[in-house]
Structure 1
């Protein structure tokens, strides 16, 4: 089989590898699709950096890709829930399974030394086959494709958790700041959760146009010169003083300020974008508006399974936010586009023929 590695010099390298055999509690997955995540770009592709307070590179020179979905082709001893032929999404962290966070399904927050992320500390999904722990697998409904599953594995799961925290519903509107892949996911899921109106804010005209074509945003707005003017534009589009719920997916100081300014009194603000800083005036911006801020990092195993079921029930297809698909042999081209000016999400589909 072949797998993609990221040397840290803004290239993606394809290497030949043996097909692994599953051990106890493990499954071998034929990868159907594997997404490219912004964190892969920021922490691995350009340069091997530390992450979440860990000194030194977080990437351990393994097969890249932490957003895989596929079909199980072999199962090791002791597997009880999944077997050969099952279609699965892979939750991208293998935790210790014993700490409180793992027992709640939040493997992402496992603090044990044996915690490993697919594509970071253990081989990931940018390959023909992936060796995964059965405990990290989530059933992929028949109504959804492998590309749908790959998107649920990270970006859609992240957006869903952030929206769950602020209880998006038909009782209010939703403002989405930043229309990259996670912001597009937030808009689609917000519609599924029943938000009355969904408005997006994005500085890139290219991305605004792509988002507008998805049919889930009631308006896609270019930001004004500051957070307050952008909030006024959003309020006009919502025909309301502000949004009951807002989510920042940009990870930027300006985007977070917009999410706060765009919230109505008693509003709920979700922060899911990585990196950057948060700077805000407190009295008028937060206290006097009675706002609640939520910080959310990825999602839990159980919420990811819930999201997959909900998307199938809502009739929503995550793959509609994908602008570009590449064969495994085109990984270098795919990463260059994902790190540059892609309209939407970029995915690798190992089963597609290369150039």
Structure 2
């Protein structure tokens, strides 16, 4: 039995990505929640780099998927919103609740799902919002209750959209290497995930945060966040890290670039007994082993997205730290501006690009 607080429209808008570097806004029916499902009014949906690389430019396979990973659904795997209707069997959430959507619905039965790491579910039923099932680049989204995380009142819908993927991914990587008040943190790659890593690392108490980024525009944007002790180009990293750490190197590092040179930078400037987190997708890892890793007693962690419980922990910690993810957003668009938004995210965006359906005059 569904419950609503106001009549819902019969149709809504959704953004589709044909795979030719365009975005199309189409009309489609507003879905009705089934057992264990809720209908959300979308407050915000972020545009992720994986959307650009695997869907927007062309439909490509991903993580061993046979054929294109994108199944022609409504795009967007970084949504947050408000529950407006619930299906039979929904137990935790009610109309009016504000939530973040964990962007993969797993089988719910395997060990990974039991731990909340639905990202690693290998069952054929696994479906990611915006890839194999309708996502959040729309006015409304049909979501499974077990993929929802409460969005604290102190955080905005844009904050929630960023938690849904980029901040969750960064926080998991920062958490794995145990960043704390004894650590200097080196962040390589200052796109949205790198900025999130710096902010969550600072939230966990990192005493110094050093950023390395090729793009001068991104370095300038990062400087405006007042999170970094220094942001430098790769060729300046050696002198800067040495100066700020007394020649020891950074005790912790996270590579968010997903590139071979970026990973080499993280390894090259890590201290003895240092911990390195790899969260950037793609590329290769090539390194000399003995001097760079073994003799320095370095630990490498590979981290893919995060879990439902850790995402909920992150939302609570952001409130406690007074950290607002939306600070990294450089551009906001309504759904009517989806084509421009995706084009910007695929090109010269300084920070994060988000869609907010409420920005449009027409709902």
TM-score of Structure 1 vs Structure 2, range by shorter chain: over 0.9
Q: Which runs of 4+ in 1 moved over 6 A?
A: none
1:290 corresponding residue in structure 2 = 297
1:322 paired residue among 329, 347, 350 = 329
1:272 corresponding residue in structure 2 = 279
Provide Cα deviations, 1:180-203, integer angstroms capped at 9, x if missing partner: 000000010011000010010001
2:171 corresponding residue in structure 1 = 160
Query: Partners in 2 of 1:94 and 1:257 — Cα distance?
Result: 34
Provide Cα deviations, 1:297-352, integer angstroms capped at 9, x if missing partner: 00000000000000011110000000000010100100000000101000000111
1:150 corresponding residue in structure 2 = 161
Shift of 1:222: 1.1
1:133 corresponding residue in structure 2 = 144
Query: Partners in 1 of 2:195 and 2:123 — Cα distance?
Result: 33
> Unmatched 5+ residue regions in structure 1?
none
> Unmatched 5+ residue regions in structure 2?
1-11
Provide Cα deviations, 1:121-156, integer angstroms capped at 9, x if missing partner: 000000000000000000000000000000000000
SS in 2 for 1:351: helix
- The TM-score with structure 2 as length reference comes to 0.95
- The TM-score with structure 1 as length reference comes to 0.98
Query: Partners in 2 of 1:58 and 1:253 — Cα distance?
Result: 25
Shift of 1:240: 4.1
Aligned 8 A contact 1:27 1:133 in 2: yes
Q: How large is the RMSD of aligned CA atoms in angstroms? A: 1.0
SS in 1 for 2:253: strand
Query: Partners in 2 of 1:109 and 1:153 — Cα distance?
Result: 16
Query: Partners in 2 of 1:170 and 1:340 — Cα distance?
Result: 36
Aligned 8 A contact 1:202 1:220 in 2: yes
Provide Cα deviations, 1:259-299, integer angstroms capped at 9, x if missing partner: 11111000000000000000001111111111000000000
Shift of 1:30: 0.2
What is the total number of aligned residue pairs between the two structures?
Answer: 351
The answer to whether residue 322 in structure 2 is matched with residue 311 in structure 1 is no
